[in-house]
Structure 1
Amino acid sequence: MRLAVVIGVCVLGVLAVLLVPDLSWLARWAVEQQRAFQNEMAGAVRALRTGSPGATAALLLAAGAYGFVHAVGPGHGKYLIGGVGVGSGVSMARLLGIAIVSSLAQAAWAILLVYGGFAVLEVSARSVTTLAEDYLAPASYLVIALIGVVLVWRGLRGFARQANAGHAHTTSDGGHDHHHHAEGEASCACCGHAHGPTPEEVAALGSMRDTLVLVGSIAVRPCTGAIFLLVIAWQMDIRAAGAAAVIVMGLGTATLTSLVAVSSIVARGLGHASVSRFGAASRIGPALQILAGGFVVWMSLVMLGYAVG
């Protein structure tokens, strides 16, 4: 019965992804808004170059708005942040931190790539864009896909551990050798086997090592809008203003990814609360990991197809 409930939750999750309503209108809206804010940034840069009052504020506002609407479109690790929130035991505070730090790291990497490339390597703007779109973007999607595979593997391992624990409590004649222990204990001295994933194992994606991998996988691909702005700022010799605007752009992106982080944590809590009524609370964690990991892998491969197509 418990396994049937878990399987049902997974099936419903897959159907929810496959039957999601057409959101192409949202993508079109985001593209239109990106163009509008991109034009505003270009105008603000020209005004800043001529010393017009209020140009800096206009540039920062346009950059922040661009970062938010650009994050609505593909990329920026939204599906990774959401998948990790649903499929792991990471806390809301840590996931929000990952969302913010990854967006700021992405902005910093864009600054280093463009300004460093121009100053040290003397590369062209086309070379920087080609590097970002043709090499760094596919690399980012591949790393994110591998993180999805890790989520699936940890979910399968969680199910296997629970199955082994259940087998260890069954005697050879079909009877049960029960020794009661405190609720929430991962193991007991009577058998030496784990009774399910420990809290540390469930929250493994919240470790510092995994946090760095998550941040790096998102940040490795710089935002195209940031590259566009930095190239103009370099050419017009307003480099400090351009860098500041890209940081604000990263904060705009972080606003959207933070909303995704909060939503994923809420969804995970609702899933645990719903399944706990059927006595399958210990199984929902691995199930959500498998479901979330599969979604992350699928989305990454879709994005990779667009990047190399």
Structure 2
Amino acid sequence: MSVKFKAVYLPLLLLAVLLAILLSLYPHLLAKTVEWQREFNQLISTTLKQINQQPSEAGSWLVVISFAYGFLHAVGPGHGKFILSGYLATHPIRLKTSIRLTLLASLLQGVVAVAVISLIVVVLTLSAGYFRLTQLWLERISFMLIIALGGYWLIKNSRQIYRTLRQTKPQTAIGNITQIRQLDAELQIKPCLISPLTALSVTNKSAINQCGCGHQHLADPAQINHLHDWKPQLMVVLSIGIRPCSGAIFVLFLAYMLDLYLWGVVATMAMALGTGSALTLFGLLVLYTRDRMLKFGKGYFSAHVSAYFPLLVKMLFGLILITLGSALLHGTTLPISGGAALFSR
């Protein structure tokens, strides 16, 4: 067995078999997940009612059950996993960033649920109709953010392709020297006190950055891209987390009616952590698959294809996000869609 087969083809083969098994078992797993969530709702309701008699034991079980509910809830289908997998698969981010995105999005769901219920129901004591209207608009904002994220990827990558096509003359590594002047002795001793442009007038910025003084005068492309990564990452987190979880809403309302609202808040955040844990594992799977596919295609694509293919994939995914967000947004305008299912007729 060759080294290349062990390093590239064997992991891909194992991954393909694992995905085939998961796809074949997913319908059954999804049906069981719905059944388990229903049972967990009953367990949460029973545990909440027991807190007054057994605060420590019942409260601990409430946290454990809520965490498990959030984990199982993340296994089911949802636009959040689609957005997250698309972003992780098309952007070269690190594992630490992936974990941060999944946890922030999940925790934001819990925070939004607590904030909305606390403001509308607990503080303002408004009717269920106001809460249903609030959640409807939170859903619409989430779907509009999905459309905005898709448009952002589409415009950004199309501009990058356009700029690449316009560059007909490749730049040399040393740049175009137009003027050379001799430096003073004092300036030669302390070269990094002056700008490199006082010695060389060049058109290649990489040559300026390598003046030999040990200091970085200009940011490299990786640092510049890192500065702009927060925009799509923020939209990913908001588009997933701004829509509260239905299980969290159920727990908060039940805890409010039982006069145990603080325990409902604790259970909601435990659900958010459970969801974040499941999404983190999902993100690890996406990152592993992406790395293996990059290694697989490294020696099979030309330099021209390798330069444009990732940009085209991002543009395609941007179009898919725009379509998905538009369809979900249109669904909220239908009489039977939008708002909390807890208050549907």
TM over 0.5: yes
In structure 2, the partner of 1:168 is 169
Identity %: 23
SS at match of 1:221: coil
Task: Note closer, same or farther for the CA distance 1:305–1:38 as it changes in structure 2 (3 Å cut).
Answer: farther
Q: What residue identity is the alignment partner of 1:47?
A: Q
- Cα distance in 1, alignment partners of residues 228 and 80 from structure 2: 15
In structure 1, the partner of 2:172 is 179
The equivalences for 1:142-157 within 5 A come to 142-157=144-159
Number of matched pairs: 271
Q: TM-score, normalised by structure 1?
A: 0.76
1:91–1:206 contact (8 Å) kept in structure 2: no
- Cα distance in 1, alignment partners of residues 93 and 69 from structure 2: 29
1:64–1:252 contact (8 Å) kept in structure 2: yes
In structure 1, the partner of 2:184 is none
In structure 1, the partner of 2:5 is none
Q: TM-score, normalised by structure 2?
A: 0.68
In structure 1, the partner of 2:125 is 122
Q: What residue identity is the alignment partner of 1:80?
A: I
| Residues 173-210 of structure 1: per-residue CA shift (max 9 Å, x gap) | xxxxx73569xxxxxx66789xxx94356556632x44
| Residues 123-144 of structure 1: per-residue CA shift (max 9 Å, x gap) | 1345324421x22112202211
Alignment counterpart, residue 47 of structure 1, candidates 43, 47, 50: 50
SS at match of 2:74: helix
- Cα distance in 2, alignment partners of residues 97 and 276 from structure 1: 28
Please say if 1:110 is aligned against 2:113: yes
In structure 1, the partner of 2:255 is 233
Task: Note closer, same or farther for the CA distance 1:81–1:181 as it changes in structure 2 (3 Å cut).
Answer: farther
In structure 1, the partner of 2:142 is 140
Q: What residue identity is the alignment partner of 1:168?
A: K
Task: Note closer, same or farther for the CA distance 1:308–1:34 as it changes in structure 2 (3 Å cut).
Answer: farther
Alignment counterpart, residue 211 of structure 1, candidates 207, 226, 233: 233
Q: What residue identity is the alignment partner of 2:143?
A: Y
Unaligned 5+ segments in structure 2 are: 1-18, 176-201, 207-219, 335-345
| Offset of residue 307 of structure 1 | 4.1
Task: Note closer, same or farther for the CA distance 1:129–1:308 as it changes in structure 2 (3 Å cut).
Answer: same
Q: What residue identity is the alignment partner of 1:242?
A: G
Unaligned 5+ segments in structure 1 are: 1-15, 170-177, 183-188
Q: What residue identity is the alignment partner of 1:72?
A: V
SS at match of 2:54: coil
| Residues 17-44 of structure 1: per-residue CA shift (max 9 Å, x gap) | xxx8795444433322221111111111
Please say if 1:223 is aligned against 2:245: yes
Alignment counterpart, residue 64 of structure 2, candidates 54, 61, 65: 61
Please say if 1:38 is aligned against 2:31: no
| Offset of residue 148 of structure 1 | 1.8
> Higher Cα Rg: structure 1 or 2?
2
SS at match of 1:77: helix
- Cα distance in 1, alignment partners of residues 33 and 104 from structure 2: 23
In structure 1, the partner of 2:197 is none
The equivalences for 1:12-31 within 5 A come to 23-31=26-34
Larger deviation, residues 115-124 vs 267-276 = 267-276
Task: Note closer, same or farther for the CA distance 1:246–1:61 as it changes in structure 2 (3 Å cut).
Answer: same
Q: What residue identity is the alignment partner of 1:222?
A: P
2:252–2:261 contact (8 Å) kept in structure 1: yes
- Cα distance in 1, alignment partners of residues 333 and 27 from structure 2: 21
1:148–1:296 contact (8 Å) kept in structure 2: yes
SS at match of 1:168: coil
In structure 2, the partner of 1:186 is none
Pairwise CA RMSD of aligned residues? 3.1
Task: Note closer, same or farther for the CA distance 1:269–1:204 as it changes in structure 2 (3 Å cut).
Answer: farther
